[in-house]
Amino acid sequence: MYSNVQTPAQLSTHLKSLRKAHKLTQAQLGALIGVKQTRMADIEKNPGAVNVAQLLQVLHALDTRLLLASSEQASRIAAPQGAADW
């Protein structure tokens, strides 16, 4: 499943959702990447303020990868299979 994240607010929602899907608390996820629960809460609340290295650590701990694509590529990836090209 791919998610097209375009804003820090959307990233915040996805990070929380991924953590909960893995049945992890903020403290447990923080321990996996070497930060305290309060830092994990900050990252989830305002992911726009996290550095890329730490974001990648969080994503890796959640068994999630970052895929960079052009807008055109992202549109094709996000389109349901069998959807007509308009």
Cβ–Cβ under 8 Å, residues 61 and 19: no
Q: Is residue 1 part of a domain?
A: no
For residues 57-64, give the mean pLDDT.
96
> What's the number of domains the chain is made of?
1
Q: Is residue 40 part of a domain?
A: yes
Residue 52 has pLDDT above 60, yes or no: yes
**Single-letter amino acid code for the residue at 76:** R
Domain encompassing residue 27: 8-77
Residue 65 has pLDDT above 80, yes or no: yes
- For the stretch 4-35, pLDDT in tens is 888 999 999 999 999 999 999 999 999 999 99
Q: Is residue 24 part of a domain?
A: yes
Q: What is the DSSP string of 21-70?
A: HTT--HHHHHHHHT--HHHHHHHHH-GGGS-HHHHHHHHHHTT-------
- pTM, full prediction: 0.80
Query: Could you tell me the CATH number of the domain that includes residue 13?
Result: 1.10.260.40
Cβ–Cβ under 8 Å, residues 5 and 38: no
Residue 86 has pLDDT above 80, yes or no: no
